[in-house]
Structure 1
Amino acid sequence: MTGLTIENVSARYGAAEVVTDVTLDVPRGDLLAVLGPSGGGKTTLLRVAAGLHPAASGRVSVDDVIVTDVPPERRGVGLVPQEGALFPHLNVARNIGYGLGRANRPWRGGAREEHRRRVEELLDLVGLPRVGDRKPSALSGGQQQRIALARALAPRPSVVLLDEPFSALDAGLRASLRADVRTLLREQSVAAVLVTHDQTEALAMADRLAVMLDGRIAQVGSPEEVYGRPASVAVGEFVGEAIVLEAEAFGDCAQTPLGKVQLVSPGHGVGRVLLRPEQIEVGAAPTKCPAAGSFTVRDTAFGGAHSEVRVEGMGIAVRALCTTLHGLQAGDPVTVSVRRPVPFYPGG
């Protein structure tokens, strides 16, 4: 397989194992997001792939060539660290040129011209064609991250690794920049790995998502699969907002405090179901029989495209995301139901 392959990799810091038996495949043209909490081993895994931290066991391959013991500069891997890590004393063009290697050596004839053309090409590629003479301090945070990406792409790597590259940017800039970066990486046909603890970022950017908990891969799948059918309650609670309810399953349905719900796959016995706030439907209780509403509105909050309704009853309190508030106010009796099937997890 061309791209990045990580096979049964473990890694340690001293006696502590922080990455345990991880296997991942990232073909060229795909972006894999590794999502996990801080301290969960995801950055260490990225450093092993880059050659900056030794693997205690397992192997790393780039374009089907084993590189586990190959120095970082010879792996064909580009790295975009947090906050860009550009050299402040070099201008933008020389920062990008550093990614080409031999950037600080004398160039002659055609080699110098080829170097210059490649830098200009990369500046055009990241949408900053006229900033080559500027110092990084003269650029915005988003522009600096674009230059860091250009530097990583300069030697035409097979693999690009991104270590929380948008964490220092404001929310609006993150959203626009990550869309541009995703498109650019796909156009360059590199295997890309994004390490992040931001669930929104991972779901928005990834072709596939790997959830890493306690140094192990807990689930790999499409963002839709991991969000909609998490492999465990722990995965579901980490990826997005989760509402976990006690349930008793009988085939395709389960009985819960919110009433009967449909299941994504058959289940039996006592366990738990996991649902998302946008799956909860809240409606006004019938005017002639307000007692039919088993729940009461605790509060509401208008949020534009999706507004929030918090309801309580049956010994629980839940948060629903609705496209409209339907005039609901605190204290109103309401009915609550669940739309779309939900996953069931047997056991206590």
Structure 2
Amino acid sequence: MSKKEDGSTRRVGLRQVAQRAGVSLSTASNVFADKPGVAISEETRNAVLAAATELKYQPRPRQEIIHRSAVTTLGVVLRKPLPLLTHPFYSYVIHGVQGACEEHNISLMYGRVDEDATTFEALPVMVQREQVQGLLLVGYFADDFYLLLRRQQQPFVMIHHHVDSLRPDSVVCEDERGGYLATQHLIDHGHRQPAPAILTGPEYLFHVRERFAGYRRALAEAGLPYQSSYVRHGDMTVNTGYSEMLALLDLPQPPTAVFCCNDEMAIGAMNAITARGLSVPQDCSIIGFDDIQLARYTTPPLTTIKVEKEWMGAQGLWQLVERITNPDMPSRHTIIGVSLVERESTRSISTDTISSSSHHLLEKPTP
């Protein structure tokens, strides 16, 4: 939907999406039609999907399917110990699901499961009692859990995770491109000697692997070496962002810029730099990923990659209704566009600045 000059809203059409993506109307139509035998490049498909995300476009056939469907009750599931309604990322995804449900008069139930849930008894009560027609699985779950749901013939859509071997319905963001944009931003601002470092997370997380791949691609395209000493692994929390940033600052040649795979680790990294008597971005630039609400209120405000979290949730809801309505349709892997939000935690540096900054970073504060 977009706003008219009088403040009212109008529905975004496919023609506007095609214009924004720089493709023909027929090409944009083919992206959403999923017609067999029609070849569309990944670059073109991603450009159209990114434009649709930005414009909040909802294909008309999808609207009609949802309005005609007999779907009345769905479930949202997270793994323990993640909080349902206060998580800095997933709470906004769930809010997007709620909004889409309200628009289409669909009731929503909530549940959490243990990380090692592999038996029927471990399933949420709403599934055991057949109270829901389908599930939105938000975040990571073990592969065995997905297989368990399939044995129970329970329709589901993954949000913010994907498993290629299972060929599931899923909704993710442009994680690889986001990692690339974040790293390229640092490189373009002069952070080349040494190359930007990265605070990443567990490799079993799809979005972590993709963001790390984007980091590697940006280094390679810039002709910069990949150095394992500038790669630190955490658990995507503020605490490990803090501890792993301290480890980077202890290197013989500390980095002048760090890409953090989510905003929580970026906030921890900024705190670690401050604790060392240094400052962001004067001594070290920091960029995050996700654009959680707190990112704009850090000191300084955090440069990050924006993820349309609520739109991911709404897209997941629409795909789940389509799956329930048409069980035999091909699986759909939807990629939501991302964008760079430049605030005040990154800065440009010159060769002279690098020399001065490196000397400052090497100086340990007096206890």
Length-normalised TM-score, structure 1:
0.27
Is the radius of gyration larger for structure 1 or structure 2? 1
Q: Which has the higher strand share?
A: 1
Question: What TM-score do you get using the length of structure 2 for normalisation?
Answer: 0.26
